[in-house]
C-alpha cells in the first residue's frame, strides 16, 4: 500500500496492529486448487445440518398465537427463556446442588463474541494472558489484535501442567511486578480445539491453588465450545463454575448453542457469576451491537424445549464418531504411526492432533506443507496454536467438514505426504 | 461495589470507562410502572413484522435442492449474493452511472456493529469525532466507551451547518496540532435518528470542501439506517459514495437490511470503497465474531430476490405515515404548538423531534421528566443526543412501537405534561 493513503494516518493503535488472520493463507491456497481436500477448516458437516428441525421450529413460532415478538429487537443480554434453559443445562452438566442464576447468563454472537467482550473489558496493550499448549488460534489472534501477549502455561514432558514451574513463574512475576499485567487464564477444557484434550478437575483446582498462594486472582475463562460434542460419554469434569475453591476468581464460562446444532445460526453464550464484570461486558455489547438476533434465539428456545436439539446432538455424535473412526483407521492401516507420528484418539470434538517426528517442520512455508499442497491436502500447522515457543512438528486435522469417503482420501494424501517427508 | 472485588483490579482502561447506557434509567422506569406508555423506544411496530414473508423465505430455502449450506458457517465478510444485492440497491438509490463494487460491501450484526468496527479501527482514547446536533445517542456512547470525544459540528441559528465557523475551527485545530486527533465525521443523513432531518447534497459537498481546504481528510461515516423508511418519496440526496469531490476521503456508508423489515433478524452492512480500511475492519470482525449469522443473510437474500422485502417496505411506509399523522394530529388538536413547542413533520423514519420553550428543561431528573412519568408517558430527553452543549429543552418522540390508539393516548399525556409545565 502507498504511504500516502489518507486512511493510514487515521488508524488507531489497534487499527495499525490488525493483520490478516493466519488461516487466510491456507484458505487462498484452497481457492486456487479446487481439487484440494481440506482437513483444515473447523466447519461442521453439511450433511448433519438440522434442516427439518429449523423449519419445524420456525413453523412452530409461526403457529404461536400473539404478535411475532421474536422478529422484533430483543434485549441486549438475550431472551429470558433461552438464558434460563442454558443455566439449567450447565447446572445439570455440572451436577450442581444449587442452580446457576439465569441472571449470570449473557447471549452473544457465537462464543467468539463472548471471548472478545471478555478480553476487551480486561486487557490493555502490554497485558498478558496465560494459555494452554496448544490453544485455540482465533483467541491468540484476538489477544494479539488487542496488543495482549498470550503466554504458555508451563508443562511437563508428559503433557500435564507443571504446577511447581507455574509457582516459580508467579513468584518471579510477583517480584518483578509483572504479575499486575496478568489478566486472565484461558482454558479450552472440553475436547479442545485444537488438541481434543480435556482438563481434569484436579488440574483446574491445582491452578486455582497456585494462583491463590500468590494472592493473585486473574479471570479464569473456560471455553466449553465442544463440551456437548462427546462421542461416547461426556467428559466428567465439572466446569470452573462448580469447583469449590475457585469462587475468589472472576469466572467466565463460554459456550455455544450452535456449534453442535447449526453454526449458521450463530448463537453463543457466557455464564459469568461476577456481576460487576458481567455488567461491563454487557455495556460493551450494548455499544457494539446491542443484542444478538432475537429470531435465532427464539429458534433455539424452540428446539431446546422440544427436545429436537438433543436428538440432533445424538445424531451428530454418532456421525462424528464414525468420521473419527474412518480417519484414524486410514492413518493406522497406512502406517502413519510407523512413520514416527503420534496421536490420541479424541473422545469428542472435531479434531485429531498429530505430533510428527521431532525433527519435522510442518509450519507455513515448510517443505512438508508444500508437499501436502502438491498432494492435494490442507491442514492447520500446529505452530499457529501456540502462544510462544511453537514446537514445529505438529498438525491439527479436522474431520468436521469432509464427508466420510473424501475424509479417507484426504487422510491417504496426508499419510503419503508424511511418507515422502521421511528419510 | 466494594473496592476489594478482584475484578476491579483487572479491568482494562476501556473496562473502567464503560458505564450503563443512559437509556437504562428510562427503561427501568418503564418496568416499574406497567401502565406507562413509551414514546422512547426506537423499536418498530410488532403489527408490521413480516411473519408470513420470513416463513415463506425459510420454506423456500428448505425447498432449494442441495445441502443447506446456509445453516453452516458463512464467511466473515458475508454472503456474496446479499453483498451484490446491496451494492446494486445503493447503486440504484444513488442513481450511479457505474456500479458499486460488491467487494466493498461487508455484512455486520446490524448497522451498529459497522459503526463499532469503524471507530475501533480509527480512534484511540483522546481522539475526536465530529457529530451533528443532535445525533444518534448510541454512537455517542460507543465513542465515549472508547475514550473518544464526540464534538458538535458548528451550526447557524437556522439549524444549517455553519461552514465559515467550521473553517475557523479547523484553522485553529491545524495551528494547535489538534487536527491530528480528528478521525471521523459522523452524519445521520436520511431521516435521522433522532431529528428526522436529512442532509442535502450541497451540505455534504460543502463539508468536503472545507476539510479539503485544510488538507485534512477524516473518515466520513454516513449512517443511512432510515433511508428506505420514507413516507412519500425518497430523500433525493445521493450518498457520500456518489458525490464527486469526496473521493479523497475514506468513506463508509452504513446501512441495515432489518430495521425496515424485521429487526429481530439483525443484519446490517457497510459499503467502504477504501480497501485498506475495509480490510482492517474485516480483520477486527474476524476476531470479534468471524461472521454474521449465515441463515439470516440467506433469508434476506430470499426476500430481496422475491420482491417480498420491497412489498413489506410499502406496507411499512403506509403504516408509519399513518402513525406519524395520528401523533401530529393529536399534538396539533390539543394545542402543543400554542404551549411554545415546535417541530417539523418528519418525511420518514420513526421520530418526531420536539423543541420546547427555551427556558424549559426536559433532561433526566428534571421536573418535566418527573411530571411526564406521573402522567404515564416516557420520552427520550434530547440532551442525550448531543456531543456537547446540549440545549436542554428538546425531546425525541418515537412513533415506532405503540399501536395507533395508544400512540394518541401517549401524545395526549405528553401534551398534558407540557401544559402543566407552562406557567
Please state the rounded mean pLDDT for residues B180-184: 98
Write the pLDDT tens digit of every residue in A158-198. 889 999 999 999 999 999 999 999 999 999 999 999 999 99
Which residues lie across from B161 on neighbouring strands? B155
Say which residue the cell 484476538 belongs to. A142
What is chain B's length? 423
Q: Please give the residue of chain A at the shortest CA–CA distance from B75.
A: A264
pLDDT of residue A375 exceeding 80 = yes
Among candidates B145, B291, B293 on the partner chain, residue whose Cβ is nearest the Cβ of A284: B145
pLDDT class of A1 with cuts at 50, 70, 90: very low
The pLDDT of A10-27, averaged and rounded, is 87
Alpha-carbon distances, residue B251 vs A372, A392, B187, B242, B247 (angstroms): 42, 43, 11, 10, 8
Whose CA is closest to A35, among A371, A373, A401? Answer: A373
Q: Give the number of other Cβ atoms within 10 Å of residue B134's Cβ.
A: 25
Q: Rounded mean pLDDT of B88-96?
A: 98
Sort strands A351-355 and A268-271 into parallel, antiparallel or unpaired. Answer: unpaired
Angle at B130 between CA B129 and CA B132, to 5 degrees: 140
> Does pTM top 0.95 for this prediction?
yes
The string of pLDDT tens digits covering residues B275-291 is 999 999 999 999 999 99
Q: Is A361 helix (H, G, I), strand (E, B) or coil?
A: coil
Sheet with strand A380-381: strands edge to edge: A351-355, A394-398, A380-381
Q: Are A295 and B291 an interchain contact pair (Cβ–Cβ within 8 Å)?
A: no
The residue-averaged pLDDT of A199-225 equals: 97
Query: Which residue in A has a C-alpha nearest to residue B183's C-alpha?
Result: A10
Average pLDDT over residues B317-326: 95
The span from the CA of B43 to the CA of B22, in Å, is 17
pLDDT in tens, A340-357: 999 999 999 999 999 999
Q: Average pLDDT for residues B372-395, to the nearest whole number?
A: 96
User: What is the mean pLDDT of the segment spanning B185-208?
Assistant: 97
| Residue B2 predicted with pLDDT over 70 | no
Residues 313-332 of A with CB under 8 A from B: none
Shortest alpha-carbon distance between residue B224 and chain A (Å): 16
Instruction: Give the C-alpha separation, A227 to B304, whole Å.
Output: 38
Q: How many CA atoms lie within 13 Å of A226's alpha carbon, on the beta-carbon side?
A: 29
Q: Is A70 on the interface with B (CB under 8 A)?
A: yes
**C-alpha torsion B35→B36→B39→B42, nearest 10:** -80
> Smallest CA–CA separation between A359 and chain B, in Å?
33
pLDDT for A47: 84
Q: Least CA distance to A215: which residue of chain B?
A: B6
A293 neighbors B264 (Cβ within 8 angstroms): yes
Q: How far apart are CA A415 and CA B261, in angstroms?
A: 52
What stretch of H or E contains A252? strand A251-256
Q: Which residue of A has its CA nearest to B110?
A: A289
Which pLDDT does position B257 carry in this prediction?
96
Instruction: List, as one string, the DSSP characters of B35-62.
Output: T-EES------GGG--HHHHHHHHHHHH
Cis peptide before A218 (omega within 30 of 0): no
Spatial separation of the C-alpha atoms in residues A133 and A143, rounded to whole Å: 16
Return the pLDDT at B423. 66
End-to-end, the C-alpha distance of chain B in Å comes to 43
d(CA B399, CA B407): 7
Q: Is B18 on the interface with A (CB under 8 A)?
A: yes
Closest C-alpha among B232, B237, B137, B131 to residue B193: B137
Q: Which of residues 354-373 of A touch B (CB under 8 A)?
A: none
Alpha-carbon distance of A215 to A229, in angstroms, equals: 36
pLDDT of residue A26: 73
Question: Looking at beta carbons, which residues of chain A come within 8 Å of B8?
Answer: 276
Q: Report which of A208, A101, A221 is spatially closest to residue A150, judged by C-alpha positions.
A: A221
Closest partner CB to B121 (pick from A15, A69, A120): A15
Looking at residues A241-262, what average pLDDT do you find?
A: 96
How far apart (Å, rounded) are the C-alpha atoms in residues B35 and B30? 8
> How far apart are the C-alpha atoms of B23 and A380, rounded to whole Å?
46
User: Quick one: which H or E segment has residue A53?
Assistant: helix A51-63
CA–CA min distance A210, chain B (Å): 16
| Nearest-angstrom CA–CA distance, B242 and B95 | 8
| C-alpha–C-alpha distance, residues A256 and A224, integer Å | 8
Q: What is the pLDDT of residue B1?
A: 41
Q: Are A361 and A393 in contact (CB under 8 A)?
A: yes
Task: Collect all residues of chain B within an 8 Å Cβ-Cβ radius of residue A15.
Answer: 120-122, 280
A101 contacts chain B (CB < 8 A): no
Distance from CA of A395 to the nearest CA of B (A): 22
What is the reported pLDDT for A45? Answer: 84
B62 touches chain A (CB under 8 A): yes
Q: Reply yes or no on whether the pLDDT at B326 is more than 60.
A: yes
Cβ-defined contact of B264 to A1 (cutoff 8 Å): no
Q: What is the pLDDT averaged over residues B74-90?
A: 97
* Average pLDDT of span B187-203: 97
User: Between A328 and B29, where is the model more confident?
Assistant: A328
The C-alpha atoms of residue B87 and residue A408 are separated, in whole angstroms, by: 41
* For residues A48-62, average pLDDT: 95
Looking at CA atoms only, how far is residue A17 from chain B in angstroms?
Answer: 9
A11, closest residue in chain B (CA to CA): B122
**Residue range A202-209: mean pLDDT, rounded:** 97
Q: Cα(B295)–Cα(A257) distance, rounded to whole angstroms?
A: 15
Beta carbon pairs, A and B, within 8 Å: 260
Q: Tell me, yes or no, if A59 comes closer than 8 A to chain B by beta carbon.
A: yes
Task: Note the pLDDT of residue A4.
Answer: 59
- Distance between CA atoms of residues B299 and B336, nearest Å: 44
B154-158: long-range contacts, CB 8 A cutoff, minimum separation 24: none
Q: For A301-306, what is the mean pLDDT?
A: 98
- A349: cell is 470434538
Instruction: State the average pLDDT over residues B369-395.
Output: 96
Q: Which of A146, A83, A309, A102 is nearest to B120 (CA)?
A: A146
| Contact residues, chain A, for B284 at CB < 8 Å | 14, 18, 145
First-last CA distance in chain A: 43
Note the pLDDT of residue A2: 44
| B 213-232 residues inside an 8 A Cβ radius of A | 217-219
d(CA B364, CA B362): 7
pLDDT in tens, B210-240: 999 999 999 999 999 999 999 999 999 999 9
What pLDDT is stored for residue B42 in this prediction? 80
| Strands A394-398 and A380-381, bridge-based pairing | antiparallel
Query: Is any Cβ of chain B less than 8 angstroms from the Cβ of A400?
Result: no
- Residue numbers in B near A50 (CB within 8 A): 71
Under a CB-based contact definition with an 8 Å cutoff, are residues A283 and B11 in contact?
A: no
Name residue, grid cell 428441525.
Answer: A53
Cell, residue A40: 483444515
Q: State mean pLDDT over A201-220.
A: 97
Cα B21–Cα B26–Cα B32 angle in degrees, nearest 5 = 125
For residues B67-79, average pLDDT: 94
Q: What is the pLDDT of residue A64?
A: 93
Q: With pLDDT > 90 as the criterion, what percentage of chain A qualifies? A: 91
Amino acid at each position: 500500500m502507498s504511504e500516502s493513503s489518507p486512511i493510514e494516518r487515521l488508524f488507531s493503535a489497534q487499527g495499525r496492529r490488525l493483520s490478516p488472520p493466519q488461516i487466510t493463507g491456507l484458505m487462498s491456497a484452497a481457492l486456487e486448487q479446487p481439487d484440494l481436500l481440506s482437513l483444515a477448516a473447523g466447519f461442521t458437516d453439511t450433511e448433519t445440518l438440522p434442516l427439518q428441525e429449523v423449519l419445524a421450529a420456525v413453523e412452530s413460532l409461526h403457529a404461536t398465537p400473539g404478535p411475532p415478538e421474536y422478529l422484533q429487537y430483543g434485549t441486549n443480554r438475550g431472551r429470558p427463556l433461552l438464558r434460563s434453559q442454558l443455566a439449567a443445562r450447565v447446572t445439570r452438566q455440572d451436577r450442581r446442588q444449587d442452580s446457576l442464576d439465569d441472571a449470570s447468563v449473557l447471549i452473544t454472537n457465537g462464543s467468539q463474541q463472548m471471548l472478545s467482550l471478555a478480553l476487551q473489558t480486561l486487557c490493555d496493550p502490554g497485558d498478558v494472558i496465560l494459555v494452554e499448549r496448544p490453544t485455540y488460534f482465533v483467541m491468540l489472534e484476538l489477544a494479539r489484535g488487542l496488543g495482549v501477549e498470550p503466554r504458555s502455561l508451563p508443562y511437563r514432558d508428559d503433557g500435564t501442567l507443571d504446577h511447581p514451574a507455574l509457582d516459580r513463574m508467579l513468584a518471579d512475576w510477583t517480584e518483578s511486578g509483572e504479575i499486575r499485567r496478568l489478566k486472565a487464564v484461558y482454558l479450552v477444557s472440553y475436547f479442545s480445539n485444537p488438541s481434543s484434550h480435556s482438563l481434569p478437575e484436579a488440574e483446574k483446582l491445582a491452578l486455582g491453588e497456585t494462583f491463590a498462594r500468590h494472592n493473585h486472582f486473574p479471570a479464569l475463562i473456560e471455553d466449553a465450545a465442544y463440551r456437548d460434542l462427546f462421542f461416547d460419554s461426556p467428559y466428567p469434569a465439572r466446569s470452573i463454575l462448580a469447583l469449590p475453591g475457585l469462587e475468589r476468581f472472576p469466572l467466565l464460562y463460554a459456550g455455544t448453542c450452535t456449534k453442535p446444532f447449526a453454526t449458521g445460526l450463530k448463537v453463543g453464550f457466557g455464564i459469568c457469576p461476577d456481576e460487576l464484570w458481567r455488567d461491563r461486558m454487557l455495556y460493551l455489547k450494548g455499544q457494539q451491537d446491542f443484542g444478538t438476533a432475537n429470531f435465532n434465539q427464539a429458534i433455539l428456545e424452540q428446539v431446546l424445549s422440544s427436545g429436537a436439539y438433543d436428538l440432533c446432538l445424538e445424531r451428530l455424535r454418532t456421525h462424528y464418531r464414525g468420521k473419527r473412526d474412518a480417519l484414524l483407521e486410514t492413518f493406522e492401516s497406512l502406517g502413519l504411526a510407523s512413520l514416527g507420528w503420534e496421536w490420541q484418539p479424541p473422545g469428542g470434538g472435531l479434531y485429531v492432533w498429530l505430533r510428527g517426528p521431532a525433527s519435522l517442520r510442518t509450519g507455513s512455508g515448510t517443505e512438508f506443507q508444500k508437499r501436502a499442497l502438491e498432494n492435494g491436502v490442507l491442514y492447520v500447522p500446529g505452530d499457529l496454536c501456540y502462544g510462544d515457543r511453537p514446537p514445529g512438528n505438529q498438525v491439527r486435522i479436522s474431520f468436521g467438514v469432509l464427508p466420510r469417503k473424501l475424509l479417507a482420501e484426504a487422510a491417504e494424501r496426508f499419510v503419503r505426504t508424511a511418507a515422502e517427508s521421511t528419510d
